[in-house]
């Protein structure tokens, strides 16, 4: 397909140019609002900015995306020291390092909130939007690629728009559902009543007069590699499915509430758990990022509808998806993240939310972001949107990390992203605790017995028992040794005591 | 007015009885779902239960209300050791003590979530509802008193209903707006688009066949005493109003977003701040508990609409309210707490949320519930519903407590109810920090400089600087001395070091 055929709005053909010219409007201090949510990010302009930096130009941009954009944006821009500010989420190794060294300003937001903040002007003047698209419609509107994220708002607000037409993407038109809610006090209900509902347009409305450049791209999203579910994640998935099946059978939960599952191997494994399970059928998935497991379930005829803000597929799955797009399109819908993660919609639909943690404490508080309390990992992403508003919220983690040297269950988490009030059920490969009918003390006793790794149970029990005896209270804690596990790890590289 | 005139549904006249007979169905292990949300709780049945306990009967009930019910329910039942479980919130001194001693099982829930949990059966079989009402309609429906809370759901779900007709209450009919949303996956949008919208019925639908007893009550709610705004709360209120005025003038916020203000003196003072302020007019108040200040503002013609789940008025204000009910009724609406605190509605309307904290840390995490990390104070109540979903969320506290011996700003809060991600603006009498455009390190620097009490600034700054130098990271913390302020207080009764 020719570039011209992708741009069905003729007047914009004049804007076709090269990356160097296109990026000319990006200067020191420019606020850059880019498409991208694990997928669908622009590729050529970031490369061009790096080229300029290598040629000695000194400048920094403030970078706002939907969520993470991987090595090809966050990674190379961070490495070239081109990023002043970054919001709301990232997962790149190099960028993470610079954020923790205070070399990049980073703020970690609930993903559902950013778009309205941009519209209200809170994030500064919306200078330039860079958007990856599969094409432009006859009326000059934009068809995005494999993610929506905050792109509709960025395109609406930006003074200048640069478009990277992704020549390798197939005809994704029709998969997106673009709806920008009005802002308060004029907001009306978001009219999604069922997972499959389409309430917007299949394109992003755009004022063609603000398009300053269009370039042709043959770059593709870098693909994640999903590890096949290992024993630990298979057991975690089994605990969750058993529990929900039990709740449904006891008539404490309706059948067919939609599912959300976070990003990564464990989250992928949870959905893979449905593959060999005959109880669950006609699944609705109302999630944030759709991964390989969703395609597998569609192939098995197990999915009624899958909704997200992005699709992140392994190389193999992407090929399959592109080849049989007509079939997958019927089942999938990609929305702005303020809709996929909308508290209103999540609570209305009654989403079963499954999210992963770095560590969980004995009372059910969750650290999703900071290793040892200070070092940023990736960000909370949408975990808070789903955990807080889901009909039932699971927080899951393997019981240990670093070959057993770190216990995921600790006396007190070293950083709290989600308090006990947002968490219903705690799950590790060893077991599951439904905290809803329990007092904090009962929660602690159950989590230590059922979720902690056997290596750490005695230490946790000893801590808890002494806290009950000495401090007492509703959530007994001894503040002088509440982080003893962490301190030991930082001193010795192992949460186990030297002498076991 | 005769009791009979209050019960306009004639067949229920047969159920009129005395408290002793009425309470006959309450036995050991009974799940008791009572009306009440700072006001509007039943009074006679609790007294009768205490009488039985004093006569030597040994039994415990599980007590679920809308929120707190004060000394006349929580207090006397706790003192008589009659409470097995209590949810979701309380503020009584005696009950608090027993909860902290593990003598009463207590779980602290987001108030917006409890009703749907009761409907799903999560809280056990709904044995008996006890409801204070001003009357019963011709068709046998219930008109509640000064609060709605979870009463509509309790009345719908309970197997047996006991009604205390409050003979002293005036004709409140018409002030309530009762709407129970369907539960997922059949829920539809909650159709409130503006603060004043009425979307339900002025009574609680009730099946008269489940009414087992009706008794006449001349008891009244015990009234809070509001202290007139002191210097500290006046300054806190001024900071908030100045900030919002500034945002509106800079066109970063629309005029006339509705306000929510928490419970207590400081919250009352914030709304009182409008009294002498000419900039703010036509106020919408979309809150949880309406206090004296709301009446004052109505009298001044400054309120367009005030919505809440309860009215808690001082003795004097209540008299005024009852005397001119016709006038106040036009401006006020009382809703179920799942509606007053609905994340969906709060986010749609764009509520300006103001809530108080026990302590706030340098990165903006908030402890609303646990003194020194372990001792339960009252519970989170609706603070999380409003903080998380407001268009802008203020967390406020006087900078010190206990005559300066406790700093409300600490390195790390000893318990987290609301993470930094739920908090937009931190306020003490010394100043205000808008955290939204800042990194965590910038937040820490600003909070220490602007919000901390001068006595504690150097200590906080010293901690923060050393954390930056030694641990570093995105939110620098030294886990081995992160609670040094708390530990010092617990050892010496003062967060100040011995030698200043």
Please state, for a pLDDT cut of 70, what percent of chain A lies above it: 99
CA A325, distance to chain mean position in Å, is 24
Whether B208 and B235 share a structural domain: no
Does the beta carbon of B234 lie under 8 angstroms from any beta carbon of chain A? no
β-sheet bridge partners, residue A165: A133, A216
For residue A227 the two structure tokens come to 């590890």
User: Which residue of B lies nearest to A385 if distances are taken between CA atoms?
Assistant: B388
What is the residue whose two structure tokens read 């960025």?
A: A154
CA-CA distance, B363 to B420, in Å (whole number)?
7
- Evaluate whether A488 touches A456 at the Cβ level (below 8 Å): no
> Pick from B259, B288, B421: which is nearest to B349 by CA?
B259
- In Å, how far is B416's CA from the nearest CA of chain A? 6
Question: Cβ of A184 and B467 within 8 Å?
Answer: no
CA atoms within 13 A on the CB side of B28: 5
Query: Catalytic amino acids of A?
Result: 288
Mean pLDDT score, A138-154: 97
Residues of B annotated as binding site for CoA?
262-266, 358, 378, 382, 402
Whether B208 and B304 share a structural domain: no
Which residues of chain A does B476 touch, with a Cβ-Cβ cutoff of 8 Å? 374
Beta strand A142-144 with A128-136: parallel, antiparallel or unpaired? antiparallel
Domain assignment of residue B498, yes or no: no
**pLDDT at res. A50:** 98
User: Which residue of B lies nearest to A369 if distances are taken between CA atoms?
Assistant: B474
Whether A339 and A465 share a structural domain: yes
Whether B367 and B257 share a structural domain: yes
Whether A49 and A152 share a structural domain: yes
How many CB pairs below 8 A link A and B?
A: 216
H helix and E strand count, chain B: 18, 25
CA-CA distance, A368 to A388, in Å (whole number)?
14
Question: Cβ of A252 and B373 within 8 Å?
Answer: no
Among A192, A216, A240, residue at a domain's last position: A216
Does the beta carbon of B380 lie under 8 angstroms from any beta carbon of chain A? yes
- The helix or strand, by DSSP H or E, that contains position A161, with its residue range, turns out to be strand A160-166
CA-CA distance, B407 to B456, in Å (whole number)?
7
Whether A440 and A466 share a structural domain: yes
Question: Cβ of A421 and B419 within 8 Å?
Answer: no
Closest residue to B471, CB basis, from A109, A374, A436: A374
Domain assignment of residue A497, yes or no: no
Does the beta carbon of B209 lie under 8 angstroms from any beta carbon of chain A? no
> Pick from A279, A309, A278, A306: which is nearest to A294 by CA?
A306
Among B165, B187, B216, residue at a domain's last position: B216
Does the beta carbon of A43 lie under 8 angstroms from any beta carbon of chain B? no
> Pick from B369, B376, B284: which is nearest to B333 by CA?
B284
Whether B355 and B323 share a structural domain: yes
Domain assignment of residue A498, yes or no: no
- More confident call, A286 vs A266: A286
**pLDDT at res. A1:** 58
Does the beta carbon of B314 lie under 8 angstroms from any beta carbon of chain A? no
Residue A2 pLDDT exceeds 80? no
Whether A391 and A325 share a structural domain: yes
Beta strand B366-367 with A83-87: parallel, antiparallel or unpaired? unpaired
Question: Cβ of A416 and B414 within 8 Å?
Answer: no
Question: CA end-to-end span of chain A, whole Å?
Answer: 66
At residue A102, the 3 state secondary structure works out as coil
A404: Cβ–Cβ under 8 A, 6 or more apart, which residues? A453, A455, A496
At residue A283, the 3 state secondary structure works out as strand
Domain assignment of residue A373, yes or no: yes
Domain assignment of residue A175, yes or no: yes
Mean pLDDT score, A16-34: 98
Does the beta carbon of B282 lie under 8 angstroms from any beta carbon of chain A? no
**pLDDT at res. A499:** 62
Whether A204 and A329 share a structural domain: no
CATH number at residue B60: 3.40.1080.10
Angle at B339 between CA B334 and CA B343, to 5 degrees: 140
Question: Cβ of B483 and A487 within 8 Å?
Answer: no
CA-CA distance, B305 to B286, in Å (whole number)?
8
CA-CA distance, B155 to A407, in Å (whole number)?
46
Whether B257 and B173 share a structural domain: no
For residue B436 the two structure tokens come to 């939204």
- More confident call, A228 vs A119: A119
Closest residue to B184, CB basis, from A257, A343, A479: A257
**pLDDT at res. B485:** 98
Q: Residue length, chain A?
A: 500
For A378-407, the pLDDT digits (tens) are 999 999 999 999 999 999 999 999 999 999
Q: Is A264 annotated as a binding residue?
A: yes
Q: Give the total number of structural domains in chain A.
A: 2
Domain assignment of residue B223, yes or no: no
**pLDDT at res. B1:** 58
Closest residue to A349, CB basis, from B105, B184, B389: B184
B364: Cβ–Cβ under 8 A, 6 or more apart, which residues? B395, B420, B423, B426, B435, B440, B443, B447
Domain assignment of residue B225, yes or no: no
Closest residue to B343, CB basis, from A188, A193, A344: A344
CA-CA distance, A168 to B332, in Å (whole number)?
59
CA-CA distance, B452 to B19, in Å (whole number)?
53
**pLDDT at res. B266:** 83
Question: Cβ of A370 and B474 within 8 Å?
Answer: yes
Question: CA end-to-end span of chain B, whole Å?
Answer: 66
Closest residue to A121, CB basis, from B183, B252, B480: B252
Residue by residue, pLDDT tens for chain B (500 residues) are: 567 789 999 999 999 999 999 999 999 999 999 999 999 999 999 999 999 999 999 999 999 999 999 899 999 999 999 999 999 999 999 999 999 999 999 999 999 999 999 999 888 899 999 999 999 999 999 999 999 999 999 999 999 999 999 998 888 999 999 999 999 999 999 999 999 999 999 999 999 999 999 999 999 999 888 888 899 999 999 999 999 999 999 998 999 999 999 887 888 888 888 998 889 999 999 999 999 999 999 999 999 999 999 999 999 999 999 999 999 999 999 999 999 999 999 999 999 999 999 999 999 999 999 999 999 999 999 999 999 999 999 999 999 999 999 999 999 999 999 999 999 999 999 999 999 999 999 999 999 999 999 999 999 999 999 999 999 999 999 999 999 999 999 999 999 987 64
CA-CA distance, A358 to B14, in Å (whole number)?
61
Count of CB atoms within 10 A of residue A131's CB? 27
Question: Cβ of A374 and B474 within 8 Å?
Answer: yes
Does the beta carbon of A101 lie under 8 angstroms from any beta carbon of chain B? yes
Range of the domain at B316: 231-492
Question: Cβ of B388 and A391 within 8 Å?
Answer: no
Which residues of chain B does A108 touch, with a Cβ-Cβ cutoff of 8 Å? 421
Whether B151 and B244 share a structural domain: no
Among B216, B245, B277, residue at a domain's last position: B216
Question: Cβ of A100 and B474 within 8 Å?
Answer: yes
CA-CA distance, A130 to A22, in Å (whole number)?
10
Question: Cβ of B479 and A372 within 8 Å?
Answer: yes
E-strand ranges in B243-391 read: 259-261, 283-286, 289-290, 303-308, 310-311, 332-334, 352-356, 359-361, 366-367, 370-371, 375-376
Q: Can you tell me the ipTM of this complex? A: 0.96
B384: Cβ–Cβ under 8 A, 6 or more apart, which residues? A419, A421, B110, B417, B418, B422
Residues of B annotated as binding site?
262-266, 358, 378, 382, 402
Q: Is A404 annotated as a binding residue?
A: no
User: What CA dihedral angle connects B311, B316, B318 and B319, to 10 degrees?
Assistant: -170
Residue A459 pLDDT exceeds 90? yes
CA-CA distance, A362 to A369, in Å (whole number)?
18
Angle at B6 between CA B2 and CA B9, to 5 degrees: 125
Q: Is A265 annotated as a binding residue?
A: yes
Beta strand B359-361 with B409-410: parallel, antiparallel or unpaired? parallel
B289: Cβ–Cβ under 8 A, 6 or more apart, which residues? B37, B38, B262, B263, B308, B309, B310, B311, B312
User: What CA dihedral angle connects A82, A84, A86 and A92, to 10 degrees?
Assistant: 40
Whether A238 and A191 share a structural domain: no
User: Which residue of B lies nearest to A253 if distances are taken between CA atoms?
Assistant: B120
If phi over 0 gives left and psi between -120 and 50 gives alpha, with beta otherwise, what is residue B153?
alpha
Chain A contacts in chain B segment 383-402 (CB below 8 A): 384, 388-389, 391
Domain assignment of residue A224, yes or no: no
CA-CA distance, B268 to B279, in Å (whole number)?
19
Chain B contacts in chain A segment 336-375 (CB below 8 A): 343-344, 347-350, 365, 370, 372-375
Beta strand B352-356 with B392-396: parallel, antiparallel or unpaired? parallel
For residue B92 the two structure tokens come to 């009584």
CA-CA distance, A130 to A161, in Å (whole number)?
6
């Amino acid at each position: 397909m020719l570039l011209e055929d992708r741009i069905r709005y003729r007047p914009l053909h004049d804007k076709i140019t090269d990356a160097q010219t296109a990026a000319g409007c990006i200067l020191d201090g420019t606020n850059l609002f880019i498409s991208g949510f694990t997928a669908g990010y622009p590729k050529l302009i970031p490369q061009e900015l790096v080229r300029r930096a290598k040629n000695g130009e000194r400048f920094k941009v403030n970078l706002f995306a939907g969520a993470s954009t991987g090595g090809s944006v966050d990674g190379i821009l961070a490495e070239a020291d081109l990023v002043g500010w970054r919001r709301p989420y990232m997962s790149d190794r190099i960028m993470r390092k610079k954020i923790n060294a205070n070399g990049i300003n980073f703020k970690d937001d609930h993903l559902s909130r950013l778009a309205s903040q941009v519209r209200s002007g809170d994030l500064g003047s919306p200078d330039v939007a860079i958007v990856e698209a599969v094409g432009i419609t006859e009326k000059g509107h934009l068809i995005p690629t494999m993610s929506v994220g905050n792109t509709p708002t960025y395109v609406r607000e930006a003074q200048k728009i640069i478009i990277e037409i992704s020549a390798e993407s197939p005809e994704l038109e029709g998969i997106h559902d673009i709806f920008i809610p009005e802002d308060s006090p004029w907001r009306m209900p978001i009219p999604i009543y069922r997972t499959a509902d389409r309430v917007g347009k299949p394109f992003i409305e755009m004022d063609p007069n603000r398009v300053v450049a269009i370039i042709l791209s043959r770059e593709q999203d870098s693909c994640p590699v999903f590890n096949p579910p290992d024993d630990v994640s298979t057991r975690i998935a089994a605990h969750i499915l058993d529990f929900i099946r039990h709740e449904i059978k006891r008539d404490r939960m309706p059948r067919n509430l939609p599912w959300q599952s976070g990003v990564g191997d464990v989250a992928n494994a949870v959905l893979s758990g449905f593959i060999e399970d005959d109880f669950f059928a006609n699944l609705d998935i109302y999630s944030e990022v759709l991964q390989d497991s969703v395609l597998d379930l569609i192939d098995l005829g197990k999915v009624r509808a899958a909704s997200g803000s992005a699709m992140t597929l392994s190389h193999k799955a992407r090929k399959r998806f592109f080849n049989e797009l007509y079939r997958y399109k019927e089942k999938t819908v990609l929305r702005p993240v303020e809709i996929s993660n909308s508290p209103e919609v999540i609570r209305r639909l009654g989403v079963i939310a499954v999210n992963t943690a770095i560590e969980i404490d004995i009372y059910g508080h969750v650290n999703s972001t900071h290793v040892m309390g200070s070092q940023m990992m990736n960000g909370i992403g949408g975990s808070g949107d789903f955990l807080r508003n889901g009909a039932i919220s699971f927080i899951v983690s393997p019981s240990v990390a670093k070959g057993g040297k770190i216990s995921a269950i600790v006396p007190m988490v070293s950083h709290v992203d989600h308090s006990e009030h947002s968490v219903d059920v705690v799950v590790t490969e060893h077991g599951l605790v439904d905290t809803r009918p329990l007092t904090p003390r009962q929660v602690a006793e159950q989590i230590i017995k059922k979720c902690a790794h056997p290596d750490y149970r005695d230490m946790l029990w000893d801590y808890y028992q002494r806290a009950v005896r000495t401090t007492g209270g509703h959530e007994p804690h001894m503040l002088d040794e509440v982080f003893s596990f962490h301190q030991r790890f930082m001193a010795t590289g192992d949460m186990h005591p030297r002498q076991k």
